[in-house]
């Protein structure tokens, strides 16, 4: 049996934040799309990841009519604490750059986007498998898959977008001769927990200590997210609640903080790396979000970059489709990469400044404290951090 055929303007592989936001923005411009997603909606809804939205990400959700829940249910943070050398030091975003960020979990971003696509009659196929992309350099590229009922399906489109995350199959369809990949591996990971407790602090604490980094983050009045630096091969089963709390309390206690404890409901080890693939276009296939680049989570940039990519890509697709000129998409890679490399630098800088290096010497740890001290004691240093953390404006 030949597969059932659907024709659309834009085929989108991956229904995470990048894929769903792109589909939403295209629909607003009158451009139809089909999104195919490997997981069920429930699975994506329950995958805990990012939590900090830059102000332009907040505006994108609110002003394009996805939902204003981000403003109602999210928490505005006007700064962070950098904790090192025995004390906390606040970086005041509002005072330094007149900007803030919003604490709003990625699970809620996804729920808002999925609801908006449902509300507006978007075509999103969840729970598909055996996904493959074909003919990406032709004028009718396609995506083939088996749908949730077990039927083979084919979507043909003018443009195909790979928004399929860090294990992208779309990225792999770029011939090796047509792509460059840039990597940086790190010798550590994050041990992440969710716990039922009141917040330990009103804003995020980025905590340097001789035992390694810890990040104290929040979710709601009763649920908190915290992380500590660990070995990438750490086994979560080796860590009881008591052992986790002792490790976290020791690290933040070195800088004068005490955490509110409670039952730990989830624990995961998150290895991370820096990665970029250039260019982000091959023929009529374009990449967006984690499919094209990943960053360590220390700078809270991954989700924001994914949303920034598709903001630019939606504009460029709209122009190329309305003018019937695919060459107008050539500027996408350059516009997107300008922000991506700034975010790569910022995420790398925050990571290396705050994490205990492998086989750290006393010199290495003292030098990090010197670096942190230079940042908090200098208006120029603090302003750079505040500007990067709250997000750079679009470059046209
Ligand atoms: C465990 C974890 C914790 C993180 N924590 C943070 C954080 O604290 N702060 C931060 O800023 N960032 C964080 N990130 C990064 C952030 O979550 C990502 O940058 C963001 O999700 C990128 O969005 P995306 O839409 O590009 O990719 P994704 O969210 O990964 O979405 C891609 C979607 O494509 C689907 N898919 C994959 N392959 C296929 C296929 N072949 N066919 C169809 N669908 C496919 C996947 O199921 C997925 O739903 C974290 C990431 C992980 C993995």
Residues 119 and 53 in one domain: yes
CA of residue 87 to ligand 1 center, whole Å: 34
The protein residue whose alpha carbon is closest to atom 29 in ligand 1 is 16
Q: Is 76 exposed, middle or buried (0-12, 13-18, 19+ CB in 10 A)?
A: middle
Sheet containing strand 152-156, strands side by side? 4-7, 152-156, 142-146, 129-134
Closest ligand 1 atom, residue 309 Cα:
26
Asked whether residue 293 is assigned to any structural domain, the reply reads yes
Pocket test residue of 45, 60, 164, 191 for ligand 1, highest count of atoms within 8 A of CB: 164
Parent domain of 299: 4-74+102-182+274-350
**What is the CATH classification number for the domain harbouring 54?**
3.50.50.60
Alpha carbon distance 362, 250 (integer Å): 19
- Domain check: are 148 and 56 in the same one? yes
389 is catalytic: yes
113 within a domain of the structure (yes/no): yes
Query: Looking at the structure, do residues 48 and 135 belong to the same domain, yes or no?
Result: yes
329 and 306 in one domain?
Answer: yes
CB-count exposure of residue 134 (10 Å: 0-12, 13-18, 19+): middle
Task: Identify the active-site residue in 159, 206, 227, 257.
Answer: 206
> Which pLDDT value is given to residue 396?
54
pLDDT of residue 1: 77
335 shares a domain with 200: no
Ligand 1 atom nearest 304 alpha carbon: 11
Whose CA is closest to 17, among 135, 101, 137, 117? 117
Whether 396 is covered by a domain: the verdict is no
CB atoms closer than 10 angstroms to residue 85: 18
Nearest CA to ligand 1 atom 7: 50
Q: Write out residues in the chain with pLDDT < 70, as ranges.
A: 395-396
Residue 55 burial (CB count, 10 A): 18
Same domain, 295 and 250: no
> What is the count of structural domains for the chain?
2
Ligand 1 atom nearest to CA at 19: 25
Q: Are residues 198 and 55 in the same domain?
A: no
- Tell me, yes or no, whether 232 lies in a domain: yes
Q: Are residues 267 and 178 in the same domain?
A: no
Domain presence at residue 27:
yes
323 is catalytic: no
Distance 113 CA to ligand 1 centre (A): 14
3-state secondary structure of 209: coil
Q: Is 301 a catalytic residue?
A: yes
Token pair for residue 168? 């992208």
Domain match, 128 and 239 both: no
In a domain, 280, yes or no: yes
Ligand 1 proximal residues by C-beta, below 6 Å: 13-19, 36-39, 44, 49-51, 106, 131, 163-165, 169, 270, 289-290, 297, 300-303, 306
Indicate whether 66 belongs to any domain.
yes
Q: What pLDDT score does 2 carry?
A: 84
First-to-final CA distance of the chain = 47
- Do 66 and 134 belong together in one domain? yes
**CATH number of the domain where residue 239 is located:** 3.30.9.10
Same-domain status, 265 and 338: no
Say what the pLDDT of residue 393 is.
81
206 carries an active-site annotation: yes
Same domain, 260 and 382: yes
Q: Is residue 137 part of a domain?
A: yes
Can you tell me which atom of ligand 1 is nearest the CA of 168? Answer: 38
């Amino acid at each position: 049996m030949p597969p059932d055929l659907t024709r659309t303007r834009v085929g989108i592989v991956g229904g995470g934040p990048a894929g769903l936001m792109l589909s939403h923005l295209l629909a607003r411009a009158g451009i139809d799309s089909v999104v195919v997603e490997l997981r069920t909606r429930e699975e994506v809804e329950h995958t805990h990841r990012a939590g900090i939205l830059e102000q332009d990400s907040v505006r994108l959700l609110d002003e394009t009519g996805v939902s204003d829940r981000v403003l109602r249910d999210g928490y505005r943070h006007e700064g962070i604490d950098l904790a090192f050398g025995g004390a906390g030091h606040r970086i005041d975003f509002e005072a330094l750059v007149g900007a803030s960020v919003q604490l709003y979990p990625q699970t809620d971003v996804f729920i808002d986007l999925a609801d908006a696509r449902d509300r507006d009659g978007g075509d999103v196929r969840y729970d598909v498998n055996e996904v493959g992309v074909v003919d990406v350099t032709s004028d009718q590229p396609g995506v083939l898959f088996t749908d949730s009922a077990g039927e083979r399906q084919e979507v043909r489109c003018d443009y195909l977008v790979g928004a399929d995350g860090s294990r992208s199959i779309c990225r792999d369809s770029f011939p090796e001769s047509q792509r460059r990949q840039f990597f940086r591996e790190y010798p550590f990971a994050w041990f992440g927990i969710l716990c039922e407790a009141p917040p330990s602090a009103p804003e995020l604490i980025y905590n340097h200590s001789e035992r390694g980094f810890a990040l104290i983050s929040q979710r709601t009045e009763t649920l908190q997210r915290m992380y500590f630096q660990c070995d990438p091969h750490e086994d979560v089963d080796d860590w009881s609640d008591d052992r986790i709390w002792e490790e976290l309390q020791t690290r933040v206690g070195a800088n004068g903080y005490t955490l509110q404890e409670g039952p730990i409901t989830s624990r995961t080890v998150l290895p991370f790396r820096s990665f970029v693939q250039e260019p982000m276009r091959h023929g009529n296939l374009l990449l967006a979000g984690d499919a094209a680049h990943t960053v360590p989570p220390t700078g809270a940039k991954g989700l924001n970059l994914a949303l920034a990519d598709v903001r630019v890509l939606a504009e460029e697709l709209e122009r190329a489709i309305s003018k019937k000129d695919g060459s107008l998409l050539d500027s996408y890679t350059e516009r997107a990469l300008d922000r991506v490399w700034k975010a790569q630098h910022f995420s790398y800088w925050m990571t290396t400044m705050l994490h205990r290096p492998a086989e750290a010497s006393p010199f290495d740890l003292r030098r990090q404290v010197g670096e942190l001290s230079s940042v908090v004691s200098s208006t120029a240093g603090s302003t750079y951090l505040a500007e990067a953390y709250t997000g750079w404006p679009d470059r046209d």
